Amino acid sequence: MEKCFCIVIDDSSQILDTATFNTIKENVKNSASIDLELIQLNPKSEEMINEEDGSILLDKVIERLNTPDYLKRQIHLIICDYELGDEKVNGFEIIRLLRNNLGSKKEIILYSSNIENVIDKIINKEEDKAKSIKDLVSSKIFDFCLKDEHLSSAIIKAMKSEMDFSSDKFLEAELFKYPDLKFNNIYDRFEGKTLGEIAVVMSSNLDEGNRLKKEMISQVVAYMINPE
142 plus 209 within the same structural domain = no
28 plus 123 within the same structural domain = yes
Residue 123's CATH number: 3.40.50.2300
151 plus 122 within the same structural domain = yes
47 plus 8 within the same structural domain = yes
19 plus 110 within the same structural domain = yes
End residue of a domain, out of 144, 163, 182: 163
192 plus 122 within the same structural domain = no
Torsion sign across C-alpha atoms 21, 24, 26, 32: negative
196 plus 91 within the same structural domain = no
Task: In whole angstroms, give the CA distance from residue 223 to residue 207.
Answer: 25
Lowest mean pLDDT among 34-48, 136-150, 161-175, 213-227: 213-227
126 plus 212 within the same structural domain = no
Owning domain of residue 219: 167-225
83 plus 132 within the same structural domain = yes
Does the pLDDT value for residue 226 go beyond 70? no
Q: Over the stretch 50-66, which tens digit does the pLDDT of each residue have?
A: 999 999 999 999 999 99
Residue 46 pLDDT grade (very low, low, confident, very high; cuts 50, 70, 90) = very high
Provide the pLDDT for residue 128: 74
pTM of this structure = 0.80
18 plus 63 within the same structural domain = yes
